[in-house]
Structure 1
Amino acid sequence: MGDRLRSTSMEDLPVHLILEILMSGRLAVIDLISLELTSRTFRGTHGLFPKKFKSLVDYAAFQLCGLSSIYASLHCNAQEELLKRCNGNWKRLLRFLMAVEQSSDMVETSAGNMQIRSGRYHTLLINDSAAYSCGSSLCGVLGHGPETTQCVEFTRINFPVPVQVAQVSASHNHAAFVTGSGQVFTCGDNSSYCCGHSDTGRPIFRPRMVEALKNIPVKQVAAGLSFTMFLTRKGHVFTCGTNGHGQLGLGDTSDRPTPTCIELLASVGSVVQIAAGPSYALAVSDDGTLYSFGSGTNFCLGHGEQQNELQPRAIQSFKRKGINVARVSAGDEHVVALDSTGYVYTWGKGYCGALGHGDEIDKTTPSHLTSLKSQLAVQVCASKRKTFVLVDDGSVYGFGWMGFGSLGFLDRGASDKVLKPRILESLRSHHISQISTGLYHTVVVTNCGRVFGFGDNERAQLGHDTVRGCLEPTEMFMEKA
């Protein structure tokens, strides 16, 4: 009995068991790197794998990359190009894939899983499966009840039943939350039925479950100006609310008071990400196809024309070039997309340099942002006349309109426009994991779980009640228990 209970070192474990642990999917890339640096067991290949893999950790990272839907959707040449862009480092490639996948959901930080989203005059945060809000409670968007008009710090939102919040989306005047079990709660202005409750057109001041989706598990929500998109775990898209421009994707312009499935998208495959603009919508499928529908104003649909699309239509310029889109962000007047190899594309209205091409010329179809081609982008974020790109080393590039300091540059100078991507020096001391920008303010989450904001704070959307605006990133805090 004593022999069987004697202590065993990591070096004594069978290689196949070690590999099983490495490939469990429960270890972050930084954990894999730490193991490789601290133990010779993880540094060796033990003669079991091709020489192109430098270690057990390297081989495990390669195997985990193969499980990613983003990587699996790429053809062989694109996979090779992505590995080359990662300097042949499988661990870096895995980190890239994980960062892209988390960019539209919660991100892993040393303080736990978090997500940040900015609305018009408010900010929403998920921390440790709880939802918080600050800023102006226009139409009940903060979710704290009719008596609350403003929160000057992140204040926890109480739900009618105990829930673990997994994803959130903020719009101008309504909000949507997804729980770990796939249920959806909404609050805010429901005059257009964008909250998915057909029994009232009045504001909803506290989160309320969307009954129409009670038995349909959802994994992501995207709140537009007066409509909402819901992405189910099966990859189907439901929409509700205003439909004057066809933004619900249902083939007509009739409003929908409750979520309705977009059958056309259901017939072409599984959707992996959704994004909602003011009156248009975007959906990325698992094969990297980007679909757009709704208002064609400002060329935001990417088809080279400004006509409305009542049903999802694939953006052909990506398809013709064999480009797989991984994630997309819908701004007020322009769009920014990230492909599966870390390149960035913009199109729409170029006012104030929001497209990043060094001018203010509109782009009618997606245009490659060549000034960032040496960077490996992991998240893109667009709002009113400004754009941010987060790259894999945690740096942030911004371009567009500098109004209210929401672009993050301290040296405004004679112009309020940044026409080409420029790194935010004010954030260089932090490794940024996620960024979100609203009308006049911007918020970020670091890999340490700290939250910073900059820009307009007139309505406490940066979580402070003593300043009207912050030109430099200012840390935001949650209410004390």
Structure 2
Amino acid sequence: MTRTGPLLFLAALLGMCLLVACGSGTNQPPGGGDAKAERAAAGPFHSLVVTDDGRVLGWGLRDEGRIGCSAPTTGPWVIPGLEGIVAVAAGHSHSLALAADGTVYAFGNDTLGQLGYSGTTSCSPVQSEVEATVVAIGAALDTSFALDDEGGLWTWGTSERYLLGDGSTATRQLPAKVAGLPAVVSFNVSENAVFAVTESEGVWAWGLGHAGMLGTGDTSTQTTPVRITALDEYDVVQALPGNAYGLALLADGTVLGWGSNAQGQLGRTPGSPATVLEPAPIPGLAGVDSLTAGPMTVVAIIDGVPHTFGANPEGELGRGADLGSQGTALPVDLDGVTHVAMRLSGVQSSALAVHADGSLSGWGWNAYGQVGTGQPVGKYYTPVSVALP
């Protein structure tokens, strides 16, 4: 298997009405400006967007500096101190931003070393001390990741779930390269695992082995990178971990899945089967351009239209309020979508969709304003427009 270049990490958001009302998709956000979205990322409680002019917008929960200093109480705002940004990533209480020159900036909580510098928690962006030119970034709950231009994958923060890939559960304040890993061209993370597509030596994984999510044929936890040999015969474009399942998008537009199918996230009737230990085709899914894996919900973009399947407790499917978990991928009422970001952890979940014209849509859990409408709505069952300043 040979890949030709790095893919920017897609960070992710995936949700009981914790607020007074539940939205049906009719509420529109106030105001709006000329900003156009290029990329989106989301943590459990906040959201980030890169605009076409290299600024970073943030909204959602505002404590611990995760969306900058002195953020307003509602809606998106421009985070000061960031210019020329091409990608963002959002953890539990920290954020990362990648500049066009390969520099990584971080802000928010640093109690577990997730900012990657010789300092402490900071609401102002600081430079992560990655000793390389970075081309992609990612964030799990309290762990940070950076892919350099030579295929090296750097990690820092907590390794409570072995996400640092160094065999320990220790916390590391400064970035270090993952040892024993061939040159990487793309990677994706969840709160429980890391998947890396290498240039010529297949797909590698490490982290927790819940329900066989690492694709190794058993439920073993892997504290350092191991090769998913069952994928060696395939041309894998993306490899993505969920909370307890895994996905691989192939060059021909088909998708393989393994691990837990409790909520239908493997494209089968929820719970039937309960788990799949070896990668197997997801029925009826073809022509996929890109994938996003939330905790228990999947988004597949086909010709600009998001198709969703899996869990729907907070409207994550974006297809209405009366749906339980779904094992069949069906379209959301959107088009022209280039990228969807979903939360990487937890149960309550939401999603952001970036459109080719630079507009932004969102749906799902909104208890902390993660969808970005600035409205006191607990959840959105169908997509709403998000106005950008």
Deviations 1:104-157 (A, max 9, x none): 46xxxxxxxxxxx75133xxxxxxxxxxxxxx8979xxxxxxx9x654459876
2:163 matched to 1:303? no
**Inter-CA distance 396–275: structure 2 relative to 1 (3 Å threshold):** same
**Inter-CA distance 138–188: structure 2 relative to 1 (3 Å threshold):** farther
SS of equivalent to 1:299: coil
Match of 2:326 in 1: 470
Between the aligned partners of 1:184 and 1:247, the Cα distance in structure 2 is 19
**Inter-CA distance 246–344: structure 2 relative to 1 (3 Å threshold):** same
**Inter-CA distance 412–358: structure 2 relative to 1 (3 Å threshold):** same
**Inter-CA distance 158–366: structure 2 relative to 1 (3 Å threshold):** farther
Between the aligned partners of 1:307 and 1:178, the Cα distance in structure 2 is 32
Counting only pairs closer than 5 Å after superposition, residues 99-110 of structure 1 correspond to structure 2 as: 101=6, 104=9
2:41 matched to 1:169? yes
**Inter-CA distance 234–154: structure 2 relative to 1 (3 Å threshold):** farther
1:207 offset after TM fit, Å? 0.9
SS of equivalent to 1:205: coil
Q: Which amino acid aligns with 2:190?
A: G
Q: Which amino acid aligns with 2:91?
A: G
Between the aligned partners of 1:157 and 1:393, the Cα distance in structure 2 is 38
Q: Which amino acid aligns with 1:163?
A: A
Match of 2:307 in 1: 452
8 Å Cα contact 2:26/2:384 also seen in 1: no
Deviations 1:281-339 (A, max 9, x none): 11000011110101111211111222111100111112xxxx21111111111111111
Provide the identity percentage.
Answer: 23
8 Å Cα contact 1:328/1:380 also seen in 2: yes
Could you tell me which of 232, 235, 240 is aligned with 2:99? 232
Match of 2:88 in 1: 221
SS of equivalent to 1:206: coil
**Inter-CA distance 159–392: structure 2 relative to 1 (3 Å threshold):** farther
**Inter-CA distance 199–316: structure 2 relative to 1 (3 Å threshold):** same
Q: Which amino acid aligns with 1:207?
A: P
SS of equivalent to 1:405: coil
Deviations 1:260-293 (A, max 9, x none): 111x21xx23100001001101100001111010
Could you tell me which of 291, 301, 316 is aligned with 1:435? 291
**Inter-CA distance 157–137: structure 2 relative to 1 (3 Å threshold):** farther
Q: With structure 2 as the length reference, what TM-score do the two structures score? A: 0.80
SS of equivalent to 2:284: helix
Between the aligned partners of 2:243 and 2:254, the Cα distance in structure 1 is 21
Can you give the 5+ residue segments of structure 2 that lack an aligned partner in the other structure? 335-382
2:70 matched to 1:199? yes
Greater share of residues in strand: 2
CA RMSD of aligned residues (A): 2.5
1:408 offset after TM fit, Å? 2.1
1:172 offset after TM fit, Å? 1.3
1:251 offset after TM fit, Å? 3.2
Could you tell me which of 271, 276, 280 is aligned with 2:134? 271
Which of the pair has the greater relative contact order for Cα pairs under 8 Å at 6+ separation? 2
Could you tell me which of 209, 228, 252 is aligned with 2:78? 209
Between the aligned partners of 1:212 and 1:159, the Cα distance in structure 2 is 24
Match of 2:237 in 1: 378
Between the aligned partners of 1:185 and 1:480, the Cα distance in structure 2 is 18
Counting only pairs closer than 5 Å after superposition, residues 84-123 of structure 1 correspond to structure 2 as: 97=4, 101=6, 104=9, 118-121=12-15
**Inter-CA distance 182–480: structure 2 relative to 1 (3 Å threshold):** closer
Could you tell me which of 118, 124, 127 is aligned with 1:261? 127
**Inter-CA distance 152–469: structure 2 relative to 1 (3 Å threshold):** farther
Could you tell me which of 330, 335, 339 is aligned with 2:194? 335
**Inter-CA distance 388–342: structure 2 relative to 1 (3 Å threshold):** farther
1:424 offset after TM fit, Å? 0.6
Deviates more, 1:458-467 or 1:389-398: 458-467
Greater share of residues in helix: 1
Between the aligned partners of 1:175 and 1:396, the Cα distance in structure 2 is 27
Q: With structure 1 as the length reference, what TM-score do the two structures score? A: 0.65
8 Å Cα contact 2:263/2:271 also seen in 1: no
2:144 matched to 1:288? no
Between the aligned partners of 2:294 and 2:227, the Cα distance in structure 1 is 24
Between the aligned partners of 1:118 and 1:289, the Cα distance in structure 2 is 22
8 Å Cα contact 2:269/2:326 also seen in 1: no
**Inter-CA distance 418–326: structure 2 relative to 1 (3 Å threshold):** same
SS of equivalent to 2:112: coil
Can you give the 5+ residue segments of structure 1 that lack an aligned partner in the other structure? 1-80, 83-95, 106-116, 122-135, 140-146
Between the aligned partners of 2:61 and 2:22, the Cα distance in structure 1 is 16
- Report which of the two structures shows the higher radius of gyration computed on alpha carbons: 1
SS of equivalent to 1:371: helix
Deviations 1:337-393 (A, max 9, x none): 111237210011112101010101111111111111011111122221222111111
Between the aligned partners of 2:37 and 2:29, the Cα distance in structure 1 is 10
**Inter-CA distance 299–188: structure 2 relative to 1 (3 Å threshold):** same
1:456 offset after TM fit, Å? 1.8
Counting only pairs closer than 5 Å after superposition, residues 308-387 of structure 1 correspond to structure 2 as: 308-318=171-181, 323-341=182-200, 343-387=202-246
